Structure 1
Amino acid sequence: MNFIMISPNYPENYWMFCRGLKKYGATVLAIIDTAYDNLLPELKENIDECYVVSNFNNYDEMLRAVGYFTFKYGKIDWIESNNEAWLDLDARLRDDFNVKTGFSYKTIQEYQSKAAMKKYYEKANIPTARYYLVDSKENALQFAKKIGYPLVLKPDHGVGASFTYTIRSDEDLIKYLDLTKEHQMILEEYIEGDVFTLDGVCDQEGTIRYLNSLEYVGNCMDSVQYQQSIGAYTAFTISDEYRSIAQRTIHAFALKNRFFHCEFFRLTKDKEGLGKKGTVIGLEVNFRPPGGFAPDLMNYAGSLDVYDIWAQVLLTQQGDYMHIARESAGFAGRRNSIAYKYRVEEIEKMYKDQWIATNYLPEAYAATMGDVTLACRFHTTEERDAFFAIAFQESTRKDRNK
């Protein structure tokens, strides 16, 4: 079983996917864009060979890399990166080397369109926000007049909250359309709801073998746009409703042998045309693991190894982790621009028994997750709620004058 992993060195924790692949018998062939000596020892120990390219965007280099591995090891069985940035590249290489264990380029191009996702959610009987794929200011203004403000403007392709804006007026709409005119944008009705995710691994039949749910503290879009505090935590339990929603979504998108990251709203008030308070609304599906250190939170919450589970399911079609005992693990992302009541060291001391890690993030991650993240594992909802209240409590003038 010849398995090519693209960029297993970044994010840094992705070396553990290679460890899982080796455990279940794969020949692990890495393609990296950095010097071999820069790799973690753990990654070096869990790959059979490594091919260095100067840039993943140089497709000729990538073709030569896969061609070299094919010449030396024979037919390639898998090409994966589990990285949003390289899903298109994975698919192009699969097409060119007749690898059938993942998406074709045509399929991933469609699946990465937020507008195109709507029909698959409809197939799963999950409502979605009304939308307009922007082709002109005039038509965008007509959509706004029909639906009413506020609206959300965001790229049709892309993940996270970059270039995503809350639109409250015609003036806002014109301003942000001008700012994003180089991108294909989608305009959607604004949903008042709590965001949650359903993340997991499915097998070759699309049956989910492992499922996790992540809930947010704060608003992801506002966190990026206004540099607010942001947090997230894994759920203690996965309800039958969530299991059904996740499985219907996976079958509607015909996902097979993949890690997935699905995002939803749960309405916090009735919304005409969508549903009553509590209705689940489809947001988007990402065809890779949740970002940042979310996989590690999943590990701490379930006392398991999701990197290993992914490899086990893909290579053996074995393993069932749908009814595991769970705790909850989460992180609080704090901003350097905000004056908090409690210093990091004080919170670490308060929660020393629950502490997982403190991370000071590089700029690439800080924009979405905060400049410093505090991660803990919780035994009760009360313990978890108290942690976030303390972590995000801002100092008052009285505190600052002490």
Structure 2
Amino acid sequence: MNILYLSPNFPPNYTAFPLRLRDEGAVVAGIGWEAPERLPPELRGALAEYCRVENMGDYDHVLRAAAWLLSRIGRFDRVVAQEEHFVDLEAALRLDFNVPGLKPADIVGLRHKSRMKEGFARAQVPTAAWELATDAAAGQRFARRVGYPIIAKPDKGVGAHATYKLSDDAELTDFFAVKDPRIPFLLEEFLAGVIQSFDGLTDRDGGIVFCTGHQFSIDIMTAVNQDQNLHYWSFRDLPADLEAQGRRSIAAFGLKERFFHLEFIRGPRGKLTAMEINARPPGGLTTDMFNYANDIDVYRGYAELVVHGGFRAEWKRPYHVSYVGRKNGKPYRHSHEDILRAHGDLIVSHTPIDSVFRKAIGDYAYLARARSLAELQPVADFIHQLEA
């Protein structure tokens, strides 16, 4: 099997994907922006060929690089990218090289939030009220219908980038005065509650072969816009409605041989409302959390699925795993050394985070593991505690 892999070196923990694909017998060729000599040696050894493209957003250059790689290893059986930024790129390459998988026409409903609403409707999963508003007057009519505050976000966007909470007509008017008129924005009613996710992997037929879920201390918009620290943790037992709505959604969107990350908000009275779907792994170190929570290697499991057609890992979620991120520049009470002395028995991993992700998930991350959440919460509290 020949695999064209986009951005094989980034993010750093995702280098395990091309390594495991090679281990399972695939011939892996990579395209990325990093110079070949700067790739980790283990990754260089796993790639049969590699072509550097200075700008991954220049499709003509990427297309020429892919054509050169095809001449070196032969016809591509898969085009793979695990990063949100490259979902459009991999779809276009699949179309041009006639490779199985999602094509540009297939991803419209996965990339535009307005179209996601249609997919959730097919799954009979509730969503927040919304409208594609083109000007302040239309926005004010929507706000009068649902009440302030409201959320404004790009119809096609990544994460919480350019996402705002608008509290009154003045903020709404200011928003429309400065926003780029070429970018459609979706207005959505604000729903109070906690964020929960449904995450996993599907096989070639769209069946879910692995799934889990997480709960977040704050939403990513708050982490980014208010520069707050984020903490989230995995479930051992998924809430029944989260799993049911998640499974119906995956079936409705028709995801095959892909990771997925669905976000929901659970209101104060327990109602679950879908926010969005992403046809890629959850970000940050969450795939590593999969591994620690289940004592598996999800990177190898994915490679086995792609190359051999089956996910062989057995998983029962024996542990909760929490992600605790710290942003630099805050007056923390406890040093890194203090943290390891106090909670080193529960901390299974800690690492710097690339600066491109720091606004959302911090500059440094700790992963902690325990059988009960009661053991994990004090770890997060200790890591985040500030000087009085």
Shorter-chain TM-score tier: over 0.9
Q: Which amino acid aligns with 2:196?
A: F
**Structure 2 CA distance, aligned partners of 1:53 and 1:181?**
29
Aligned equivalent of 2:366: 374
Aligned equivalent of 2:160: 161
1:353 CA drift (Å)? 0.8
Q: Percent identity?
A: 30
Compare 154-163 and 327-336 and name the one that shifted more.
327-336
1:320 CA drift (Å)? 5.5
Compare 77-86 and 58-67 and name the one that shifted more.
58-67
Aligned equivalent of 1:118: 117
Compare 311-320 and 301-310 and name the one that shifted more.
311-320
Residue aligned with 2:47, SS = coil
Aligned equivalent of 1:170: 169
Q: What CA RMSD, in Å, does the superposition of the two structures yield over aligned residues?
A: 1.7
The answer on whether the counterparts of 1:131 and 1:187 sit within 8 Å (CA) in structure 2 is yes
> How many corresponding residue pairs?
387
The answer on whether the counterparts of 2:242 and 2:272 sit within 8 Å (CA) in structure 1 is no
1:6 CA drift (Å)? 0.7
Gaps of at least 5 residues in structure 1 are 269-276, 397-402
Residue aligned with 2:261, SS = strand
Q: Which amino acid aligns with 1:391?
A: I
1:294 CA drift (Å)? 1.3
* TM norm structure 1: 0.92
Distance verdict in 2 for CA 1:46–1:359, change over 3 Å: same
The answer on whether the counterparts of 2:85 and 2:158 sit within 8 Å (CA) in structure 1 is no
The answer on whether the counterparts of 2:194 and 2:217 sit within 8 Å (CA) in structure 1 is no
The answer on whether the counterparts of 1:354 and 1:378 sit within 8 Å (CA) in structure 2 is yes
1:317 CA drift (Å)? 2.2
**Structure 1 CA distance, aligned partners of 2:311 and 2:34?**
34
Q: Pick from 351, 357, 375 the counterpart of residue 383 of structure 1.
A: 375
The answer on whether the counterparts of 1:209 and 1:313 sit within 8 Å (CA) in structure 2 is no
Compare 196-205 and 17-26 and name the one that shifted more.
17-26
Residue aligned with 2:348, SS = strand
Q: Which amino acid aligns with 2:176?
A: L
* TM norm structure 2: 0.95
**Structure 2 CA distance, aligned partners of 1:372 and 1:144?**
38
Aligned equivalent of 2:91: 91
Aligned equivalent of 2:324: 332
Distance verdict in 2 for CA 1:221–1:322, change over 3 Å: farther
**Structure 1 CA distance, aligned partners of 2:48 and 2:316?**
33
Distance verdict in 2 for CA 1:216–1:322, change over 3 Å: farther
Q: Is the counterpart of residue 103 in structure 1 residue 102 in structure 2?
A: yes
The answer on whether the counterparts of 1:132 and 1:186 sit within 8 Å (CA) in structure 2 is yes
The answer on whether the counterparts of 2:304 and 2:312 sit within 8 Å (CA) in structure 1 is no
Show structure 1 runs of 4+ deviating over 6 A: none
Within-5 A mapping of 1:260-299: 260-268=260-268, 277-299=269-291
Within-5 A mapping of 1:5-154: 5-100=5-100, 102-154=101-153
The answer on whether the counterparts of 1:84 and 1:288 sit within 8 Å (CA) in structure 2 is yes
Residue aligned with 1:346, SS = helix
**Structure 2 CA distance, aligned partners of 1:128 and 1:331?**
27
1:137 CA drift (Å)? 1.3
**Structure 2 CA distance, aligned partners of 1:4 and 1:265?**
36
